[in-house]
Chains A and B, each alone.
Chain A
């Protein structure tokens, strides 16, 4: 026990841990709030699809020695528009459209990776996250983009609420539903690209889905859903980063496991509460 406490104290002396906690919390905030709109709009698989697209964009960036963040954001935003468009068209089912885009992206990413040096350490770190090795540029980008997400959410919060609850009503009272769906797509794309640094392309959709679904077990109001989801998400990232340092575990997977743990607890509480 003493050993754990002393390594926790030790953790806070490292700059990389402080950076990881800061960036991780910002991304936990953005991903959990975006998650609420995505889950409620039944768009959660868009998050998953875009995460797969970001795998391909990271492979492209690494092949050309460019910053994965800079390459990924515009491409993932474009992909999100494409998925929305395919979703709106009657010919293709929404989930099938996402399946098409994501499997294509993964295949493309794998081919690119094999053309360079195969799956090297760098690509592996983007697959499963590597929040403990965040560069200063990543930190600055994460800060700026998280602020963009927060401002976007504040500006459009009420319109997003209306569109998520009842699209027809929102359209009648003059809200541009298509624009709002695009706002969701852009903010989600940014969040996902940032999130791959924390938990990786394979696990980022869990950071979007878990906190919301957990909050939905107990929340009564929309505001409460947001507060619970954000609190759980930030707690899981902080606890996950520290636990991964102390117990020498992979940070991304630890964060996701903590999220799963909270979900299980809330799920059980709801069931017990419902029976009594």
Chain B
């Protein structure tokens, strides 16, 4: 089953395309790394997927309402000195549950606690977001995205600015989520990690894109992944 399907999708700013038309299907359970130079279109692609950037032309079909995508924005977009506890930050991911009521219900708060326990970050609940380390902040933001979705995470350069050990922790967390069946789409500069963890790799380069199955990974993990690329 496909989570996201792009047909002749043209991405870019102010009507100027950044890349040739993109035809791409992201199937359920894939771990797609998007790599490429700065300005090649990888971040624009993800912003178009999430609806932050209007598409120039083409079609995107989602398996879920696009407001239910679990999005982790780039670090500099997030207010890192924000005076809120991790619990409050994660809870804000469940905003769609509120509907007409202005307050969260007991079961909404319980869902936050359960999610934090499953991600082993319960100890951070009452800690102020701006006192967390870079890696802890990233885990809290991933948890917030998981309040919105239980199937599709989209991350924009989540490991930027993190030291190697912390990067490892974030990758491990994502790997665990992927093993639980969550589809992951991630923009990254980290080519090594792309080939280590990704089931699929999408590369943007000089106005062209290439979508491929990560053969190494399939060989290593004996995983069968169906892929329909252009």
Contacts and interface: CB of A to CB of B under 8 A. Distances in A.
B74, B83, B88, B102, most chain A CB atoms within 10 A: B83
B144 interface: yes
B107 to A, nearest CB: 16
A162 interface: yes
Contacts of A215: 83
A166 B83 contact: no
B126 to A, nearest CB: 8
A158 B102 contact: yes
A220 B96 CA distance: 25
B85 A172 contact: no
B83 A216 contact: yes
B83 A220 contact: yes
B71 A168 contact: yes
B51 A171 contact: yes
The interface size bin for chain B is 35 or more
Given A162-B92, A220-B83, A154 B52 contact: no
A173 interface: yes
24 contacts: A40-B82, A155-B102, A156-B102, A157-B102, A158-B92, A158-B95, A158-B98, A161-B92, A164-B79, A165-B78, A165-B79, A168-B52, A169-B72, A170-B95, A172-B52, A173-B71, A173-B93, A173-B148, A174-B96, A220-B128, A221-B85, A221-B88, A222-B84, A224-B83
A168 B77 contact: yes
A165 B96 contact: no
B83 A219 contact: yes
Contacts of B28: none
B89 interface: yes
